[in-house]
Amino acid sequence: MTPTDSRRSVVPPYLLHAVAQAAEFPRAASAARTALASLELVQTPKHRHLVAPRGVSAGVDGSGTVDRSPQRTIADARGTTTLPGTIVRNEGDPETGDPAVDEAYAGLGATHAFWLDVFGRVSIDGAGLPLDATVHFGEDYDNAYWDGSRMVFGDGDDEVFRRFTIALDVIGHELAHGVTQYTADLTYQRQSGALNESVSDVFGSLVAQYAAGQTAEQASWLIGEGLFTDAVRGDALRSMRAPGTAYDDPVLGKDPQPATMADFVVTTDDAGGVHTNSGIPNHAFFLAATAIGGYAWQGAGAVWWDALTSDAVTASIDFAGFAAVTIDAAATRFGDGAAEHAAVQDAWRTVGVLA
């Protein structure tokens, strides 16, 4: 298996801990304990670069031409934890009839189309990197993750979580970790780690909005909507519109994400709260996107993309530093003093990152 220090998973450890202790969901509890065990080494990450930052990778043919097609390969782990598994669908192959295989294939394609159509980026590395995924990973595995080279999807336990291929924003979220890996390469701890998670939520949400043709006003701004079964009182894993409200369940507890710096969580868990405190920059993006209006990928999304690819964003940048870069990016793209520029400034002030 891929070393766990390179995993970027969508279900946060704090939620897995709650599921693991839920006697009401015995199957889910067992699955969550397995998922937690696979993430334990992430709690003290080694912070090695997965790939050289701002670089490119394979994806060009002998003539030096970049292949602009998705180049998808879906493998089936068949309930094991051995990667990559058996290849069951290649680029251009017809549907298999296996929902997880076909959803993963479609999700990779939708994500590839977003990056290409919106930002002219050919795959997640900008150079046509083939998109590989493995489905049916483990037994009732309660997570999906990017391991530095491929997407890995669990089937969920059917008590708390459904299969992880059903949510397009989850696929977009995980592949955005790959985009970050090839651009700013944000260190996965504390505020830079929370920004790493937030960037994935931002672009994961934008992938789903682009595929649905939704404006910022029409979008739900929920991350992982539909992953919870009907037994859980909750809508999603996270809410960018209202962090801390995605779920409130008598067994699993309440969504702990803060929306502002006034409630910033100081912790040593989860690499310094990367999944918790990401609610703050998430909410800033939501505020900027809805204030600008229209299609979010054309407004706030373009600003965040300019920031992510700016040399001013260092690997260890904090919230305030990233906010400053987005404000400068908004001024450059839309004009100093433009409505879009003011919207980005106001968003960061509202969440308490800027005075």
Mean pLDDT of 332-353: 97
**pLDDT of 98 strictly over 90:** yes
pTM assigned to the model: 0.90
Asked if residue 55 is part of any domain, the answer here is: no
Asked if residue 59 is part of any domain, the answer here is: no
Asked if residue 355 is part of any domain, the answer here is: no
Active site residues: 174, 275
Domain termination site, one of 149, 182, 215: 182
Name the percent of the chain lying above pLDDT 70. 90
Domain termination site, one of 182, 210, 245: 182
Instruction: Tell me what pLDDT residue 270 has.
Output: 87
On average, the pLDDT of the chain sits at: 90
Asked if residue 57 is part of any domain, the answer here is: no
Mean pLDDT of 293-316: 97
SS (H, E, C) the chain: CCCHHHCEECCCHHHHHHHHCCCCCHHHHHHHHHHHHHHHHHHCCCCCCCCCCCCCCCCECCCCCECCCCCEEEEECCCCCCCCCEEEEECCCCCCCCHHHHHHHHHHHHHHHHHHHHHCCCCCCCCCCCEEEEECCCCCCCCEEECCCCEEECCCCCCCECCCCCCHHHHHHHHHHHHHHHCCCCCCCHHHHHHHHHHHHHHHHHHHHHHHCCCCCCCCCEECCCCECCCCCECCCEECCCCCCCEEECCCEECCCCCCHHHCCCCCCHHHHCCCCCHHHHHHHHHHHHHHCCCCCCCHHHHHHHHHCCCCCCCCCCHHHHHHHHHHHHHHHHCCCCHHHHHHHHHHHHCCCCC
Q: What is the pLDDT of residues 262-303, one digit of tens each?
A: 999 999 988 899 999 999 999 999 999 999 999 999 999 999
Residues 178 and 245 in one domain: no
Strand-pairing partners, residue 239, are: 222
Angle at CA 319, nearest 5°, toward 315 and 320? Answer: 110
- Range in 39-43, 131-135, 231-235, 304-308 the model is least confident about: 39-43
Residues 196 and 141 in one domain: no
- Would you place residue 40 in the very low, low, confident or very high pLDDT band (cuts 50, 70, 90)? low
Domain termination site, one of 182, 209, 237: 182
Residues 211 and 326 in one domain: yes
Q: In this structure, what CATH number is given to the domain that contains residue 231? A: 1.10.390.10
**Cα–Cα distance for residue pair 315/94, rounded to 1 Å:** 41
**pLDDT of 46 strictly over 60:** no
Instruction: Tell me what pLDDT residue 37 has.
Output: 83
| Domain range enclosing 103 | 4-37+44-50+71-182
**pLDDT of 51 strictly over 50:** no
Q: What is the pLDDT of residues 55-67, one digit of tens each?
A: 343 343 344 567 7
Residues 154 and 195 in one domain: no
Asked if residue 61 is part of any domain, the answer here is: no
Residues 139 and 176 in one domain: yes
**pLDDT of 102 strictly over 80:** yes
Instruction: Tell me what pLDDT residue 307 has.
Output: 97
- Range in 39-48, 95-104, 236-245 the model is least confident about: 39-48
Q: How far is CA 103 from the centre of its chain?
A: 17
**pLDDT of 49 strictly over 70:** no
Residues 174 and 28 in one domain: yes
Instruction: Tell me what pLDDT residue 164 has.
Output: 95
Residues 218 and 153 in one domain: no
**pLDDT of 165 strictly over 60:** yes
Number of domains composing the chain: 2
Q: In this structure, what CATH number is given to the domain that contains residue 102? A: 3.10.170.10
Residues 344 and 195 in one domain: yes
**Cα–Cα distance for residue pair 7/184, rounded to 1 Å:** 17
Instruction: Tell me what pLDDT residue 4 has.
Output: 37
Residues 158 and 270 in one domain: no
Residues 171 and 208 in one domain: no
Asked if residue 242 is part of any domain, the answer here is: yes
